[in-house]
Chains A and B, each alone.
Chain A
Amino acid sequence: MHELSIACSIVETVEEVLPDENSTVKTVFLKIGAMSGVVRDALLFSFEVAAQDTRAAGAVLEIEEIPVVVHCDPCGKDTELGNPPIFRCAFCGQSTAKILQGKEMEIVSIEIEDGKAANS
């Protein structure tokens, strides 16, 4: 389970982004691709642990899950893949390795609360 490492990276970045000592994080918005290798529930659990005693403590992770979409060059169409992801065009049946999305592992934005408000 590498989600704890991932969660620690999130906490680190979030603390860097926070403008000052007194601000706290309410929500962290993430994009996680289906082929990122990250398991959502494991990440939610790990984040709670990783955020303890940091300024991200108590923050909520909002995860947007991004399905894998591949592009087929010969027919020019895009296919959303299921689970397991079979890399084949749904229209012409040709195999394709061209991934358009689904590997994301990104912090999109954070919702912060400025001022002295302690993070209850």
Chain B
Amino acid sequence: MEKPRIVEVRQGILKKNDQLAGGLRARFKSAGVCVIDLVSSPGAGKTAFLEETLRRLKELGFRVAALVGDLATENDARRLERSGVPVRQIETHGICHLEAEMIERNLEGWNLEELDFLFIENVGNLVCPSSYDLGEDARAVLHAVTEGEDKPLKYPTIFNSSDIAVVTKIDLAEVCEFDRAACCENIHAVRPNIPILETSAKKGIGFEDWFEYLKDLKNGAAARSNSGR
């Protein structure tokens, strides 16, 4: 038996995903579609937020579509289809996050050049999705007022890897005794300078600011500031 020897590898563990994501990013760019990845804990209101986003962007004349990741069931896709835009469900069969390969596979048959915005609703999870680049232009982390104020400190990686934070269910802020200042302070503690929006999908609050952000993003003005991914 020969002696053991050390072989240098120096390779990112998720190199394959990163390469695929890089390819997707180039594809999105050349097609002129702006891609946003929505992440949050389960129940923070991603689907309601996305439903309102899709409906109103469509009304404003934008061409939008969505990919929706979920562990199981197609309920979210059915809900989102009500907005009248193309929606596809990605059932991950128990996998707790989306990967670039799943995005690539589910884009088949869609003409990206006919889209202004593509939204990806990630699996509800504040840990796992943070490691996987999907080729998106921006990652938006949603945080409901019902979750309290310290989630950013408990899940710093996902907040740090995001480009914008969206506080949802702001219409419930008072009942929940939501401490707005503390929440913003905690978000900025783990991710300095990130823009924070306050929204309510139910009451239609805060979407004008969200759409301004999206338009800037599409025009390259709000270019992804996060180099971490």
Contacts and interface: CB of A to CB of B under 8 A. Distances in A.
Q: Interface size for chain A: under 10, 10 to 19, 20 to 34, or 35 or more residues?
A: 35 or more
Nearest to B130: A37
Which secondary structure characterizes the binding site on chain B? Answer: mixed
A2 B189 contact: no
- Of residues B5, B17, B188, which shows the largest number of chain A Cβ atoms within 10 Å of its Cβ? B5
A88 to B, nearest CB: 7
Contact of A108 (B5, B10, B128, B192): B10
Contact of A87 (B2, B8, B190): B190
Instruction: State which size class the interface on B falls in.
Output: 35 or more
Nearest to B153: A84
B5 A17 contact: no
B7 A110 contact: yes
B13 A10 contact: yes
A107 B15 CA distance: 10
Given A85-B156, A86-B190, A103-B228, A111 B6 contact: yes
12 contacts: A1-B127, A2-B97, A5-B97, A6-B13, A86-B190, A87-B160, A88-B189, A105-B14, A110-B6, A110-B9, A111-B7, A115-B1
Given A37-B131, A108-B8, 5 more contacts: A36-B157, A87-B190, A99-B228, A106-B10, A111-B6
